[in-house]
Amino acid sequence: MNKRFKSLAATLSSVLLTLFGLTVLTFLIGRVMPVDPVIAAVGDNAPEDVILRVRAEMGLDQPIPVQFLHYLSQLAHGDFGMSVLTKNPVAQDIVRFFPATFELATAALLLAMLIGIPLGVWAAVRQGTITDQTIRVVCLAGHSVPVFMLSLISLLIFYSWLDIAPGPGRQDIIFDGMIDTVTGILTIDTLLAGDFDAFKDALAHMAQPVIILAYFSMAYIARMTRAFMIDALKGEYVITARAKGLSLTTVIWGHAFPTVAVQLVTVIALTYAGLLEGAVVTETVFSWPGIGQYLTVSLMNADMNPVVGTTLLIGLIYVGLNLIADILYRVLDPRVQ
Amino acid sequence: MVSRRNFLIGGAAVPFLSYLELAETAFAATPKDILVVAQQLDNMTSLDPHEGFEAVGGEMISNMYQKLVRAGGNNPDDVEPVVAASWEADADSKVFTFKLADAKFASGAAVTAEDVAFSLQRAIKMNKSPAFIINQFGFTPENVEKLIVAKDEKTVTLTTEQPTAISFLLFCLSANIGAIVEKKTVIENEVNGDLGNAWLQKNSAGSGPFKLQAWKASESIALTLNENGPYKGNLKRVIIRHVVDPSSQLLMLQKGDVDIARDLTSEQLKVAQSDENIVLVRKQIASLMLISMNQTNPNLAKPQVWEAVKWAIDYEGIQKNIIPMTHAVHQSMEPAGFPGTVTDTPFKKDVAKAKALMAEAGLADGFDITMDHYSAQPSPDIAQALQANLAEIGIRVKLMSAENRQVLTKMRARQHEMALSAWGTDYFDPNSNAEVFCINKDNSDDAKKKPFAWRSSFKNDELTAKAEAARDEKDPAKRLELYEALQRDFMHNSPFAVMFQNTKTAACRKNTTGFQLGVLSEGNSYLETSKS
Amino acid sequence: MNATFRNWALDENPSSRRQAAWGNWYRIWLNLRGNPLGMIGLTIILIFIAIAIFAPLLATHDPAAQDLANRLAAPSAAHWFGTDELGRDIYSRLFYGGRVTLGMVIAVVVLVAPVGLAIGCIAGYFGGIVDTILMRITDIFLAFPRLVLALAFVAALKPGVESAVLAIALTAWPPYARMARAETLTVRGSDFIAAYRLTGGSSWRIIFRHIMPLCVPTLIVRVTLDMSSIIITAASLGFLGMGAQPPSPEWGAMIATAKRFIFEQWWVAAIPGIAIFMVSLAFNFLGDALRDVLDPKAA
């Protein structure tokens, strides 16, 4: 018990240290940005005295360590500060923007897993054959194109030429403001409200960005699954099982896959973290009001409270995912102590 | 072999097929009584009319609030009555009396003199960015309640510190800083003495054609009809969607997903022009693109270099090829569409002449210099063309691209050498630009006033005196004459090469009529917009 | 001649270290040759490198020569890939741009690999407080949203190739450190390291001369696979306006400026896009094949 407690304490302290390091780094970045955040607050043409006054109001004329301590004490009270651009508390903004990115990333990950894992297994089973090579090419291709190109091409083909997909944005105008925000995740909220039309609309708007993001991540998942699977299929117990006369399907899914699944947990955790922060470009092309857009716009205007807040959030998720992956790894794999 | 997998993969295809079917139901064109606009909304600072000081926010504000008068209408040299029905100045030109018309706020209450006085006092007391437009007449938070007074239900008097030209005063009051807010509502929602500033970010209390329903930053703005307001048309709501990419805006317009697209560039406009379902509403606006030469650089401080640069630029080539539909060649510091603007374009590309000037300055071998410019198109393209132009006369330019606000920060800190930037006029009067380009009385690093000329360390006492004289001239005709002379003087005696003036285009679907663009963003109006 | 080299290299009983080393590399090469995708990748990369090096000889126009009247021209005999938004020849710009893009990628790798390797090996070898501190720092950089770090860095310095390279390097090194540390931990306790220590080798010597070289195979695989993501990150930075600046013909910057006409003059953006795609794909093929050859079990 004591050992468990010690290791838990060690993990927790390392997490906190990482987050602290993140905060310091981001804060420093903000002070180094060559944009005057006051301009975002007062407008480009503002007269000089207004700028000086607002700068003092925002506490920006204090020395950096003082500002940092002030920020830390605010943080301790759960106050992430105000965003100069949106005029809202950063916490409120994050609550508004995060579900959109979460929706995209989660859906993309599920899709990537749904397609990527079976493909990886198939490629492993058919190692060396044309099927294997084809799958590898298809997956690697997805990983070789910049996401923004895929997005633009997709809009061109499916929205402009073929008219199958809706345009940029999360939902059609008619549904704007009609659904009560419960979770912020449109697909869930619309179902909760019982509005099936709105649900279909939300799903339709999600389709393109999700498919593109999924394709991009699928490559990594498929490749990893294939590698793990090839390894697992060489294991002794597999050969024994085959010798005993068990069918290949049973061997693959019953015996080899569970080992693979355990190793995939880390891969998936990493992919998810990558998806969350990689959504930036996709959100720009598809006018998706998510964290990525929020972060980039704030950064470009040196509005640092949102930048620090969002960075902490993403960092927290990343660290948390790694932690969960670690724990799951220990729990699921009886060989690991 | 992997048959179970195959089955499941095959099964997954079925939902996809019905997705195609749902595609038809979901993407209807926009409803008849809702106007949908695609616009870049990332520059908004505030929707409080006495605080907001940039183009997009200013446009929203002017559709929610009214001012005493409106400028830039049918007669660009004069103002039209709105909340004020009539006005007059006293013999000394210091006391101005306004008689109010019958207007109603969105709440149904009538607009009274008390509201007008409160609004103008509020503008001064809050003292935000645009306050200088009115407080230049001598109002301070301490004295404003005595100087701007509601005499009775329908009469307001305003007393200026110095004798003032009434046309100048009226033009200034036509800016958003002169917006009339409903005193009762604002006071009710005041928090911590902020005069309702926080509340007015999310709500409106005006007498304009629309009221604010919701502002979701970086997403959308929703306006609903003010039934008690001046709107004449069949719309119930206006929704402005934030769409960053102009190509996407065009696509959405062509498909009917939006009724108006606001930020199309030359490339998209060419396509839109030939589309019979799209009508273009165009207006030259008060935004000038110019090159600034920082006088702290010894090479740039030579007047022959100023002229050489102005004669090296291929104005026509750049305009025709890079920005044909969004800019016109314009070389005066006052924008076309303003009273008294000179539209001469004396400078043309003349490499021989420019080279001779460089030789005269003792710089026949040229020099190296940097030029900062915005990273948003069309600046990079124009900057590269300029780089090639200047190379021909020996000026070797290194381009430095940065986000708009980065360039502004750098210029305000006087860190640039050459800079390609745009200047948007603050209010509808020639003094607005003349002041920032010509009146620099203190060139030191900690001057109290830091106009645009200061940023490039440009101080010319003669120009300053002329600009001040023009500002204070009471006779309207003579005033315009003075400004005309000032502009011509400025063209040849300043380190600023004004090159182009911006033309804004709103691309509307055929069935959407009555949307107006103004020379200042506060003239962009949905007042008469309807859909058929 | 070839046959003798082959025999010498594949000799079962090498008589010198050099012979053994050469033998090793030759075997790797033979294995690689048997992997069709890998060879395709290698060929494409070599072609692009050749194009980049010989750009001045191969280009048909001056990549900076503007011709405003002839903007956005379609591919023709005069301009094989058409012209861009300022009338410059896309074919020539593509070749010169290859220098910038490939140069950026190489610069990043040259920065990242040694540094990451060194940090990881040092952390793994010394353990204890050194390990904790170095890994803490690595974790912080790993947890940091990559794009934020890159964007912020580029914005803080001035946008351009140098800043982009530094920014990408800053975000790319942690995985190398992690990987090197893992490898070091595996070999740290082994006999031959103990032997070196017994013969009086200093810690630094052991790390640099013996441990780091062991990590090289995995490093090569990792680097090759990373190349594609580095290229794409550079292009994405360009797309967001923060990478190489005009008039540089860097491929990402070309796409960024051309995306506004993607619906009309799609080739201006498509051609550099295809170039990026091909090079990335080639690196991915090669990396995949190398991984199969060098380190089949690696994750």
In tens, the pLDDT along B475-514 reads 888 999 999 999 999 999 999 999 999 999 999 999 999 9
Over residues B325-349, the mean pLDDT reads 93
- Chain C hits for B320, CB-CB cut-off 8 Å, are 68
Of A263-277, B61-75, B416-430, minimum mean pLDDT range: A263-277
Cβ of C228 within 8 Å of Cβ of A149? The answer is no
Cβ of B403 within 8 Å of Cβ of C262? The answer is no
Q: Is the pLDDT of residue C126 over 90?
A: no
d(CA C243, CA B402): 11
B56 touches chain A (CB under 8 A): no
Sign of CA dihedral B82, B85, B88, B94: negative
Q: Is the pLDDT of residue C6 over 90?
A: no
Of B85-99, C106-120, C154-168, minimum mean pLDDT range: C154-168
Looking at residue C55, its pLDDT comes to: 84
A203 touches chain B (CB under 8 A): yes
Could you report how far apart the first and last alpha carbons of chain A are, in Å?
15
Looking at residue B146, its pLDDT comes to: 92
The pTM of this model reads: 0.81
From B319, which residue of chain C is nearest by alpha-carbon distance? C68
Sign of CA dihedral C110, C115, C120, C121: positive
In tens, the pLDDT along A90-138 reads 998 898 888 888 888 899 999 999 999 888 888 888 877 888 888 888 8
Share of chain A above pLDDT 90, in %: 3
Helix (H) or strand (E) holding B418: strand B418-424
In tens, the pLDDT along A205-244 reads 888 889 888 988 888 888 888 888 887 777 777 777 777 7
- Chain B hits for C245, CB-CB cut-off 8 Å, are 399-401
Q: Is residue C124 a contact partner of residue C180, using CB atoms and an 8 Å limit?
A: yes
Q: Is residue B527 a contact partner of residue B209, using CB atoms and an 8 Å limit?
A: yes
Over residues B378-401, the mean pLDDT reads 92
Looking at residue B46, its pLDDT comes to: 86
H helices of B244-349, where? 246-255, 266-273, 303-312, 315-321
Looking at residue C219, its pLDDT comes to: 82
d(CA B287, CA B283): 11
Q: Is the pLDDT of residue B15 over 70?
A: no
Reported confidence tier of residue B10, pLDDT bands at 50, 70, 90:
very low
Nearest to B476 by CA among B227, B164, B187: B164
Over residues B190-205, the mean pLDDT reads 90
Cβ of A301 within 8 Å of Cβ of B252? The answer is no
Share of chain C above pLDDT 70, in %: 93
Cβ of C85 within 8 Å of Cβ of B399? The answer is no
Subunits with 3+ Cβ pairs within 8 Å of A are: B, C
Which region holds residue C162: left if phi is over 0, alpha if psi is between -120 and 50, else beta? Answer: alpha
ipTM of the complex: 0.73
Looking at residue B154, its pLDDT comes to: 93
Share of chain C above pLDDT 90, in %: 2
Reported confidence tier of residue A334, pLDDT bands at 50, 70, 90:
low
Structure tokens of A217?
A: 């991540």
Could you report how far apart the first and last alpha carbons of chain B are, in Å?
61
Q: Is the pLDDT of residue C284 over 50?
A: yes
Beta strand B34-39 with B237-242 is parallel
In tens, the pLDDT along C170-189 reads 888 888 888 888 888 877 77
DSSP bridge partners of B261: B38, B507
B25 touches chain A (CB under 8 A): yes
Least Cα separation, residue A335 to chain B (angstroms): 28
Of residues C132 and B286, which shows the higher confidence score?
B286
In tens, the pLDDT along C54-66 reads 888 888 888 888 8
Phi first, then psi: give them for residue A138, nearest 5 degrees: -60, -45
Distances, alpha carbon C130 to alpha carbons A10, B141, B269, C116, C135, in Å: 16, 61, 61, 15, 8
Looking at residue A45, its pLDDT comes to: 77
Q: Is residue B356 a contact partner of residue B347, using CB atoms and an 8 Å limit?
A: no
Reported confidence tier of residue A278, pLDDT bands at 50, 70, 90:
low
In tens, the pLDDT along C238-251 reads 776 677 777 888 88
- Hey, which residues 44-103 in chain A have their CB within 8 Å of chain B? 44-50, 53, 83, 85-88, 93, 96
Structure tokens of C51?
A: 């194009």
Q: Is the pLDDT of residue B207 over 80?
A: yes
Residues whose CB is less than 8 angstroms from the CB of residue A123 and which lie 6 or more positions away in sequence, other chains included: A131, A132, A135, A136, A222, A226
DSSP bridge partners of B138: none
Report CA A68 to chain centroid distance, whole Å: 28
Residues whose CB is less than 8 angstroms from the CB of residue B155 and which lie 6 or more positions away in sequence, other chains included: B97, B98, B99, B100, B113
